[in-house]
Structure 1
Amino acid sequence: MNMQGNNASAQDKQAAQNAIQAAYNEATPEEKQQLQQLENQLKQHNQLQ
């Protein structure tokens, strides 16, 4: 993923979303909370759609 302040491409955003979703399916409640925070951070930085 591009971490130089540039916006991620739609493909990168989808890949990140898919990875978070896949992890979420296997996660404990504590991990789900962490994934939710990560998802929110990525959305704030325009790394997710």
Structure 2
Amino acid sequence: EAFDPNIHEALMHDTSADVAVPTASKILQPGYKFKERILRPARVSVTDPES
């Protein structure tokens, strides 16, 4: 799943040649959504593309 700062909170970052866009690679703590409103963003580990 692509990293979206509106619904994700990045706690850790890593790099990989396997991804083209920042990706939420691991959910560390699930978030909560009520209807279309974000109550708590999901806390995730993000894998960034290598430069």
TM-score after normalising by structure 2: 0.20
Q: Name whichever structure is richer in helix by fraction.
A: 1
